[in-house]
Amino acid sequence: MGVQGKEGDVGGQSQTDMSIFRPPVVRTGTAALNRALFTRRVDLAAAAVQDHKLISQYRRTLQSSRELLHVDRISPIRPHPDQALAGQGRKCFLLNPSVKAEAPETWGPVLRAGVQKQELTVIPYELQLDYDYWNYRDIMVSVLPEELHDDIPTGFNIAGHVAHLNLREHYLPYKHLVAEVLLDKNPQIKTVINKVDNVGSESEFRTFQYEVLAGPDDLNVEVAEGGCVFQFDYSKVYWNSRLETEHRRLINIFQPGEVVCDVMAGIGPFAVPAGKKHVFVWANDKNPESFKYLSAAIKKNKVGAFVRPFCEDGRTFIRQAADSVLEASQKGEHAVVTHRVKSPPQQPTPAAQEGPAGAPARPTVREERIPIPPTISHFVMNLPASAIEFLSSYRGLYAGREALFAPHTPGRLLPLVHVHCFALKADGDDDRAPREDICARITAALGFAVRPGDDPDVEGCAVIHDVRDVAPAKSMYCATFRLPREVAFAARD
Dihedral sign, Cα of residue 56, residue 59, residue 63, residue 65: positive
Q: Tell me the CATH number at 324.
A: 3.40.50.150
- Whether 363 maps to a domain, the answer reads yes
pLDDT digits (tens, 9 = 90+) for 370-425: 999 999 999 999 999 999 999 999 999 999 999 999 999 999 999 999 999 999 98
Residues of the chain predicted below pLDDT 50: 1-16, 200-201, 355
User: Could you tell me which of 111, 45, 53, 106 has the C-alpha nearest to residue 78?
Assistant: 45
Domain match, 157 and 89 both: no
Task: Give the whole-angstrom CA distance, residue 62 versus residue 60.
Answer: 6
Considering the domain architecture, whether residues 195 and 330 belong to the same structural domain is answered as no
Closest C-alpha to 422, from 373, 376, 389, 460: 389
Residue 460 is predicted with a pLDDT of 95
Q: Are 270 and 382 in contact (CB under 8 A)?
A: yes
Domain count, the chain: 3
Residue finishing a domain among 185, 218, 251:
218
Q: Is 240 labeled as ligand-binding?
A: no
> Looking at the domain assignment, is residue 301 inside a domain?
yes
Q: Are residues 250 and 279 in the same domain?
A: yes
Q: Is 313 annotated as a binding residue?
A: yes
Q: Is residue 57 part of a domain?
A: yes
Considering 127, 160, 178, which residue would you say is the last residue of a domain? Answer: 127
- Reported as a single tens digit per residue, the pLDDT across 373-387 is 999 999 999 999 999
The CATH number of residue 75's host domain is 3.30.70
Domain presence at residue 19: no
* CA-to-CA separations, 4 to 8, 73, 141, 183, 186, in angstroms, rounded: 11, 11, 19, 27, 23
User: Could you please report the per-residue DSSP string of 144-168?
Assistant: S-GGGSTT-----EEETTEEEE---
Q: Are residues 174 and 274 in the same domain?
A: no
Q: Is 161 annotated as a binding residue?
A: no
Answer yes or no: is 225 within a domain.
no
What is the reported pLDDT for 472? Answer: 84
pLDDT of residue 8: 33
Amino acid at 421: C
Same domain, 458 and 386: yes
147 and 104 together in one domain: no
C-alpha to C-alpha distance for 350 and 152, rounded to whole angstroms: 78
Residue 261 lies in a domain: yes
- Residue 114 to residues 45, 99, 102, 476: CA-CA distances in angstroms? 15, 15, 16, 60
What is residue 6's predicted lDDT score, i.e. its pLDDT?
34
Q: Which domain holds residue 273?
A: 240-344+355-488
Q: What CATH number corresponds to the domain at position 207? A: 3.30.300.110
Spatial contact of 269 and 226, defined as CB atoms under 8 Å apart: yes
Q: Supply the pTM of this predicted model.
A: 0.82
* 107/158 same-domain check: no
Rounded to an integer, what distance in angstroms lies between the CA atom of residue 170 and that of residue 181? 18
Question: Do 411 and 289 have their domain in common?
Answer: yes
Give CA–CA dist 220/233, Å, rounded. 4
The radius of gyration of the chain from alpha carbons, rounded to an integer in Å, stands at 32
Q: What is the pLDDT of residue 3?
A: 36
Looking at the structure, do residues 369 and 331 belong to the same domain, yes or no? yes
**Number of other residues whose CB lies within 10 A of the CB of residue 406:** 11
Residues 362, 470, single domain; the answer is: yes
Q: Judge whether 421 lies within some domain.
A: yes
Helix (H) or strand (E) holding 270: none
Same domain, 276 and 250: yes
Let me know whether 385 and 429 are in one domain. Answer: yes
Q: Of 127, 146, 178, which marks where a domain is finished? A: 127
Question: Is the residue at 9 inside a domain?
Answer: no
Instruction: Please enumerate in sequence order all residues whose Cβ is within 8 A of that of 395, keeping only pairs 6 or more positions apart, or say none.
Output: 446, 447, 487, 490, 492, 493
314 annotated to a ligand binding site: yes
DSSP string, 208-246: --EEEEES-S--EEEEEETTEEEEEETTTS---GGGHHH
